[in-house]
Chain A
């Protein structure tokens, strides 16, 4: 079903944007290009600069330096009300003294849309968010999830060049959040516009996004698809932020493609790394690792590290092990149910993996656990 709200996407170019406050730098030289029709998520912990970046694009905040272009047109000096972007807020921001229909009509009135056309557009927008027939209610008569749907309808009804969303599901409970995530994804596919989404929830980012930009300390650490970020993280921060991982940290010896490092008496190898750092952190995902009671149980070519079992959790679909590595840090292993091995907390065991797996990164942590 084609919606009247459908339209071509818009390109957003953020170039070397910095936002400095009196005592801090909220956004530090961030560059990001959002492709037309793309669903991009700005993901990061609180205070990482993702919301400030969104506010800069929306025009709620003035930038200190850099430029923002929408479809090749510079907008960083254009006031918010002339940027033509739809914004959805975490706190809904519905006008309490207006009905649902009046709220959705508001942006159309600003654009002097003819009355008859307004009516069709409002009905279409309400249908898109599944709230047909709710036009005469007041926001306070709706649940949180319904209010946020109205906010979506209001932000989309005037066919904005792009839709910006600042943690729109942050105030909702888990079940509703998951339901609305799927709906947002469906709406994105239906209307085909550019969506910029801010969240601190990596699972939400994985579900929704075409691409994810990972923010940390006011900078973008990496931009990529979920798979790229998960399989080829560019930094230890990204590796840890995107899903679970086990990190083996040691100085890198024998630089070059055939790098190796000595991890508490075990020689670790792995796929060639682009830039081999001095202090290395070899990152492995839980499903790349296996655990066995004795070193002899592991295949010949595997890399093996002796560990102690801390937890063996039965998950139905398989087991999740929490292990103590020789340097005292924690390892996470997930195995299919077929590979049950009866290990219990306190047992000595061996964690092993193929030397074709793993990503070698620079150890950026200041505190060493060795």
Chain B
């Protein structure tokens, strides 16, 4: 029970972090048809910016400034890069963001080095929030959830109350119609791209010190975010939310479980030795398969429900 509750809380905080990334990616994809390959790189930039800024003036200013900086970078990328390749089609846009991701990775190598940087949780948020049975639950995890949820409410209010939000909402369901209405103005694109990047940056600020800030963090989380978007359904925000939590649960629980088929068979009275056919497969524990599970889920989803959980479009 204790294990379950703690893991559940961790799943939710990780899932919410994933949603911060996948929501931006989904909105950008729905509005502009661009699958932003560099989205996770903005996440990484957020973490590194926050590390740098909090070294100078502290964590709290960094929490506000780093996402804004990342958003500014995103807007510049849209204005001076994406807009140029737009005329060559979506594949060219995808290639551009791919090249950008590659370049940001390398730039991070050049500026901050190849190993991780000591971006730590601020002392004011270091410690236990409460004790559950015998486990102390860290304040920072609670803080992450609070930030994620307030951002969630922020997105919701923006989408439902503001003019640009209404345009974005319409674009999610009827992209062609919105285009013909003349709302497909470059400025909206730039703001959406900047906003999505800023969200990713914010996720980086609070994720970078909860996990680890290193040059490989974009490559590690990027494909997972893609999986979330595919599993949730391309272009569905609610789908992305559900898929984020689902992947959060899968990843958190699977790394902690040491069961394998050998255990299962043993319960059934069958012994598996090293000479049994496919011994390597039966011997795997769930925790060993953890890295592969999200992708497996994606492939299964594509075979049995290509639209994703709540998607309306098939690619």
Partners in one complex: no
Binding site for A on B (CB under 8 A): none
Binding site for B on A (CB under 8 A): none
